[in-house]
Structure 1
Amino acid sequence: MTLLFNIEYRTSWGEEVRVLGSIPELGNNRPDKATPLHTVDGIHWTAEVDIQIPGNEIVEYSYHIYRDGKTIRTEWNSLPRILHVADNPKKAYRIEDCWKNLPEQQYFYTSAFTESLLAHRERDIAPKSYKKGLLIKAYAPCIDEDHCLALCGNQKALGNWNPDKAALMSDADFPEWQVEVDAGKISFPLEYKFVLYNKKEHRAVAWENNPNRYMADPQIAANETLAIGDRHVYFDLPAWKGAGVAVPVFSLRSEKSFGVGDFGDLKRMIDWAVATNQKAVQILPINDTTMTHTWTDSYPYSSISIYAFHPMYTDLKQLGSLKDKKAMAEFDKRRKELNALPVVDYEAVNKAKWEYFHLIFRQEGEKVLASDTFRNFYEANKE
């Protein structure tokens, strides 16, 4: 299989463009093994790379600027470039890319939106590949799972400008969308627009507000797919809005707490936010602030670690019960006393919880430290 990379980037003297990817032919994501592109004018860069088809039929890659063999600039790579390739050794992909800078409305590309607020939990498969294919890809993160991006244009395959017959795009790599059209059935020049399509109502609800996109005949060969990437799509729609609540965890004290709001209460708070159709719960910092073991440690912005959570927020019930029933009864009594106070007794709560930590560690610690679960946690977080 052959990949033909094309990107326009105006370099300075001594700079070169390289492509780095997830397969051996593109360096296996090792910057020192990236594949150089070639240019005759310092602006248009190309490379032709023969590859073995990867087992998962996916190639991830990105562009980098090198000087004297070292990376000096990288494109925005929070959303990796992904190419789904066909299982056909004779296939060629001619890839037309643009340099990726920080996108407008960058926050919509964060996991808060892509994995939660606008998450697509049941995604489409990658689009079908054709002998002569035109693959068009576009970024549009502000689309919920009831809608999709679609392509409408002056071809039968694109609905002949009937938006209800537009070609629906796949969200396999959301927030990037893609569709491959049989180029053998296209009469160039091609004109098209992106539309927002309601999958439940089977109709287009918005058109992008700009002139038609245009493509002259790109001369696609047999067994070749032309991949056009890095399109950004915007619709003239009301801005996304979501109501939420901001709250410090320590103030979430409930009947089940141990004198202070904890992570168990935070889960109940989130369940309540879901039940009341809120979109976000914002909390004050929960990092460990323990230095003096006194009230002065209670200020949540004086953290001593960017990793450690404050032990005070531990939900003791999730640590398990003490086998010493007398000790357990004493802790339950102290829990009720601390919970009945009109204000949080910071020092008393932390003193009691630390006593519980020591007792439960003596009881369970050796078993936990020897478990696969702890070893896996350690390996993932050993730095």
Structure 2
Amino acid sequence: MSETTSRPVGGIDPAELFGDPYAVYGRLREEGPVHRITGTDGLPAWLVTRYEDVRQALADRRLALDKRHATPGGYRGMALPPALDANLLNMDPPDHTRIRKLVSRAFTPRHVEKLRTPVRRTAELLLDACAAEEEFDLIAAYAAPLPIGVICDLLGVPGESRPDFRAWTDALVAPDPARPDRAREAVGRLLAFFTGLLADRRRQPGDDLLSALVAVRDEEDRLSEDELTSLAFLILVAGYENTVHLIGNAVAALLAHPAQLAALRAEPHLLGGAVEELARYDGPVPLAIRRFPVEDVTLGGVTVPAGETVLLSLAAAHRDPRRFPEPDRLDLTRDATGHLALGHGIHYCLGAPLARMETEIALTALFERFPDLTPACPPQELRRRPSMRSRGLVSLPVRVGPQPSRP
């Protein structure tokens, strides 16, 4: 192990990471491919920073997600009850394979394409409400409610029964260190909500994904009760959380690069590739979910002992000039295929086709409705959520320009 890659990197400054993870991870990437760091939780971890190493590690079966492979006392994760913790983000094959197969058909490109019309309709309804204001918060009024509504419709969550999922998720993903009680309260509310929702589906099944999963549990016995509850929790939260930030970050990036936005408006056929580039340029997930080697593994020429925590920096990988020339430049004509914003390997994001489709529709509908959309504050005044593992905006104030006069 070389001196450069084996030396401790001390505690990472959370404020610096929340503000600009690309600068922090970029410095580490150029110093060496793998670093022994002290995380913000005070525990040691191994940080992998270069594209090829990160991509290979994402697909390496020796790097487990199951926390039972972690060294005792070497990992301090989010405390969730078993009914929420028994989900795909904590599973390896064969359980991961079994459960993923149960829901994969709901997220195939063919099935997702059938949702295009209702998603566009939802986007237009949200923009109708925004059109009444000269200035609005794009996150609260559009980027958040669009994917929340889509995933709730897919699961069969009634409109009148949709609580503030975003507030609960924020309390878990970006907890306030001064108020740990809020995270505990959010866990309790989420568990109570899903327990009640599943009970409702048992009494009154419908033509929705959640009812189908209840049938798989009750009639076919292919899920435990904890697996069923955790799966519903993961589909709902993961189904909108990353998409909210993908849309929000994409709009912020386009508004900050007006020449790129003008090119996209002039050539709408660039949209598909533009979404890939926007996901690479400022994706919603700076760090992949932690891994634990089931045996000693070599990453980037560094041997990582079994059981220790491995963090894969997608933010660093996406700005690696070895893979993406001029990586700090937003270029909507770039071939950004191969980016890792939606994962890689067996844990590739199940909802990737849905996230792509929602983002395409969100951008198209937004800029068609408001061709003169501009930011309502300087980029340096935008506030990011205080989270190492989720990169999203607290708000994105935008101005739509003069509105047609009303009679």
TM range (shorter): under 0.3
Larger helix proportion, structure 1 or 2? 2
- Which protein, 1 or 2, shows the higher relative CO under an 8 Å CA cutoff with sep ≥ 6? 2
TM-score, normalised relative to structure 1: 0.21
Structure ID, larger Rg:
1
Q: TM-score, normalized by length of structure 2?
A: 0.20
The structure whose residues are more often strand, as a share, is 1
